[in-house]
Structure 1
Amino acid sequence: MNITHRWLSIVEGCLLVALGLHILNAAGLLISGTAGIGMILGKFTDLSFGQLFFILNMPFYILAWRALGKSFAWRTFVSISLLSGLSELMRFYIHLTIDPILSGILGGMLVGFGLIILFRHNASLGGLNILAVYLERRFGFHAGKTTLIADLGVLVAAITVLDLSHLLYSLLAFLLLSSVVGRYHRPPKWAQVPKANEASS
């Protein structure tokens, strides 16, 4: 694959995710994955979201480097940096008011499509996304299922910081994100589980 094409796709994936997260944040909805965990922990500590997100991702960087390869770990690091920068730009320059139902629909779908692009180009946004790709590559467990299970866990934890209506709207975003990944994501060759005769050779 052309290197320019790969990195352009990664930038586009990060842009979609950043926009989706910005839309969710505008309505006060929960961010999925490791970012959601960071947002919840931010309610109980003096650390910023950026600091928490970096700390939470550290063990997953090690997992990516050892189990998924240096290229995957490097692209993931770049993707996280891009997402952080794009999120900051949107926070300063894009101000919007949006109905929470529409926010959940658009935000969940945009994040889902952005993750698909990153998965297909051997990258992720760290944390639970790395775990999802690792489980798919190592055991053939679909990334969409891992994402759904992880996000439901985050949603349960969010009971401590969100009211019922925002929990329900966040659940809508989670379900749409998982649905998009589950229907459109196809494991690329680098993520496929080797066949029995290939593994023994």
Structure 2
Amino acid sequence: MKTTHRWLSILEGCLLVALGLHILNSSGLLISGTAGVGMILLRLTDLSFGQLFFLLNLPFYILAWYTLGRAFTMRTFVSVSLLSILTELMKEYVYLSIHPALSGALGGLLVGFGLIILFRHNASLGGLNILSVYLERRFAIHASRTTLVADILVLVAAIAFLDIGHLIYSLLAFLLLSSVVGRYHRPPKWAQIVVVESKP
């Protein structure tokens, strides 16, 4: 039952993220992390988002395997593969017409809550998610801080591709994603102990 619950939760998390990304893509907006890099590269290649997202994550599995364990790496690989498939299906079968402001709000919230579900079940969506989980477990750096830095880097890169309106709406998605992760994500208990003990 525990295994079934975990994989159902991972599926639900991937569905939320896939829908959030599809909403953002439908309005030409970006999100942070590896997904944001994939959205930028969409403008430079003929590959689909699902293909780009899968390929971008391949190098990060090495870090996950040696630092976060085999179980985490395998769940992350399945999550990334599942998200890649879901985004391809949504591109084919889900048609949306949403104002960019609403897209930014809904997209950021959906991606944020999807990530929370994955983190709680010892999985991630690869890329910078792997890095944020590693930094949290190794150095007790909350995942929301790593997410915020990734947001800024993606936003800076996006200046060359987006007009000011789309940048602002993308920033809204970034802020809501970071807010959700910051408020609802709970680091492992041992990481919290490290933080407490490090205080003077």
Output the TM-score relative to the length of structure 1.
Answer: 0.91
CA RMSD of aligned residues (A): 1.8
Task: Output the CA distance in 1 between the equivalents of 2:55 and 2:84.
Answer: 14
Check whether the contact 1:27–1:100 (CA below 8 A) recurs between aligned residues: yes
Residue 170 of structure 2 is aligned to residue 151 of structure 1: no
SS at 2:59 equivalent: helix
Check whether the contact 2:104–2:173 (CA below 8 A) recurs between aligned residues: yes
Q: Deviations over 1:47-82 (max 9, x none)?
A: 544443333212211000000000000000000111
Gaps of 5+ in 1: 197-201
Check whether the contact 2:50–2:88 (CA below 8 A) recurs between aligned residues: no
Q: 1:116 offset after TM fit, Å?
A: 0.3
Q: Which amino acid in the other structure matches residue 55 of structure 1?
A: L
CA 86–44 in structure 1, closer or farther in 2 if over 3 Å, else same? closer
Check whether the contact 2:53–2:84 (CA below 8 A) recurs between aligned residues: no
Q: Which amino acid in the other structure matches residue 191 of structure 2?
A: Q
Match for residue 185 of structure 1? 185
Superposed counterparts of 1:70-81, under 5 Å: 70-81=70-81
Q: 1:40 offset after TM fit, Å?
A: 1.7
Match for residue 43 of structure 1? 43
Task: Output the CA distance in 1 between the equivalents of 2:40 and 2:90.
Answer: 21
CA 88–76 in structure 1, closer or farther in 2 if over 3 Å, else same? same
Task: Output the CA distance in 1 between the equivalents of 2:170 and 2:34.
Answer: 15
Q: Which stretches of structure 1, 4 residues or more, deviate above 2 A after TM superposition?
A: 41-56, 191-196
Match for residue 120 of structure 2? 120
Check whether the contact 1:137–1:193 (CA below 8 A) recurs between aligned residues: no
SS at 1:95 equivalent: coil
Residue 121 of structure 2 is aligned to residue 107 of structure 1: no
Check whether the contact 2:54–2:80 (CA below 8 A) recurs between aligned residues: no
Match for residue 131 of structure 2? 131
Q: 1:86 offset after TM fit, Å?
A: 1.1
Q: 1:194 offset after TM fit, Å?
A: 6.7
Output the TM-score relative to the length of structure 2.
Answer: 0.91
Superposed counterparts of 1:23-42, under 5 Å: 23-42=23-42
Q: Deviations over 1:151-172 (max 9, x none)?
A: 1100100011111100010000
Q: Which amino acid in the other structure matches residue 30 of structure 1?
A: L
Task: Output the CA distance in 2 between the equivalents of 1:143 and 1:160.
Answer: 27
Check whether the contact 1:77–1:126 (CA below 8 A) recurs between aligned residues: yes
Task: Output the CA distance in 2 between the equivalents of 1:171 and 1:194.
Answer: 33
Gaps of 5+ in 2: 196-200
SS at 2:22 equivalent: helix
How many residues get paired?
A: 195
